[in-house]
Amino acid sequence: MNGYLIALRAIVLREAMRFLNQRSRFLAALVRPLVWLVVFAAGFRAALGLSIIPPYQTYITYEVYIVPGLCGMIQLFNGMQSSLSLVYDQEMGSMRLLLTSRLPRSWLLFCKLLAGVAVSILQVYVFLAIAALFGITLPPMGYLYLFPALILTGLMLGALGLLISSTIKQLENFAGVMNFVIFPMFFMSTALYPLWKMAESSPFLRDLCALNPFTHAVELIRFALYEQFNGAALLWVLACFAVFMACSIIGYDPARGLMKRKRG
């Protein structure tokens, strides 16, 4: 057990030191959602005219509605950026050394996920604090209920990043693949507008959004912020995390996974 805890501590501290040495990464993670919140929200609010947001049946501003989606955006980008470091570690050879240790490969990858989740949660709460300075406040207990939701959604999105990184051969190819995944997932979700608004324009688009794992991550965060529980979103997030994590473990198997095909 001591070996497991030592590995967890070492990987988390390594990720924390890397994050502290990359202050631009922290600023970028905050500027991106703040731009959406301050600049674009006004235009979307005027275009959509949202006032009562099902299923909450309460009057809220559009800025308040998209805050959970922007929290999910922070976690989505952070999960992909954490996976970028894995691609770099693969090229440098340190990832291969890590995976050849005596500890289970699943535990090592899970430690990497936890490290990324810890960083993303810090970024989300800093973003919420800045949003509060703009007068965008949420139910007080919602900030507490949000914490377990962020852990689960961070693990799911981080596992997706792990799966993607296991298929990347070179660091230069990661940026294109990342954008190909991030933007469709974000825009075809409920991060900016509810599903019923999607259905008014296209039922097919609404169905795509309903199948998007990021949609359910955002809904889990949104319901938690409003002190509510969304069982369907929780099951979706857990199921997607299990699938992404299992595929990542196979992908990072030096003996038979996708890494074997790369070396070939």
Q: Is the pLDDT of residue 175 over 70?
A: no
- The residue written with tokens 């795509």 in the block is 208
CA 218, 222, 227: angle at the middle one, nearest 5?
A: 150
Three-state secondary structure call for residue 132: helix
**CA 39 – CA 80 distance, rounded (Å):** 25
pLDDT of residue 52: 44
**CA 42 – CA 50 distance, rounded (Å):** 11
Question: Averaged over 104-112, what is the pLDDT?
Answer: 81
pLDDT of residue 46: 53
Using pLDDT thresholds of 50, 70 and 90, give the confidence band for residue 180.
confident
The beta-strand segments (E) located in the chain are none
pLDDT of residue 54: 46
The most confident of 160-164, 191-195, 213-217, by mean pLDDT: 213-217
* pLDDT, tens digit, 9 for 90 and up, residues 61-76: 677 778 888 999 999 9
Maximum Cα–Cα distance across the chain: 58
Q: Is the pLDDT of residue 200 over 80?
A: no
pLDDT of residue 167: 78
Q: What are phi and psi of 196, to 5 degrees?
A: -65, -25
Q: Is the pLDDT of residue 104 over 50?
A: yes
How many residues in the chain?
Answer: 264
Using pLDDT thresholds of 50, 70 and 90, give the confidence band for residue 57.
very low
Q: Is the pLDDT of residue 99 over 90?
A: no
* pLDDT, tens digit, 9 for 90 and up, residues 112-142: 888 889 888 988 999 999 888 878 878 889 8
Instruction: Give whole-number Cα distances, 6 to 10, 85, 118, 158, in Å.
Output: 6, 21, 17, 21
Span between the terminal Cα atoms of the chain, in Å: 36
Q: Is the pLDDT of residue 263 over 60?
A: no
Using pLDDT thresholds of 50, 70 and 90, give the confidence band for residue 172.
low
**CA 127 – CA 112 distance, rounded (Å):** 23
What's at 116, amino acid-wise?
Answer: G
Find out whether 84 and 28 touch, Cβ atoms under 8 Å: no
What residues pair up with 219 in beta bridges, in sequence order? none
**CA 46 – CA 48 distance, rounded (Å):** 6
Name, in order, each residue with C-beta under 8 angstroms of 15's C-beta and a sequence gap of 6 or more.
Answer: 82, 85, 112, 115, 116, 118, 119
Q: Which of 89-98, 152-161, 166-175, 234-243 has the lowest mean pLDDT?
A: 89-98
pTM exceeds cut of 0.75 = yes
Q: Is the pLDDT of residue 153 over 80?
A: yes
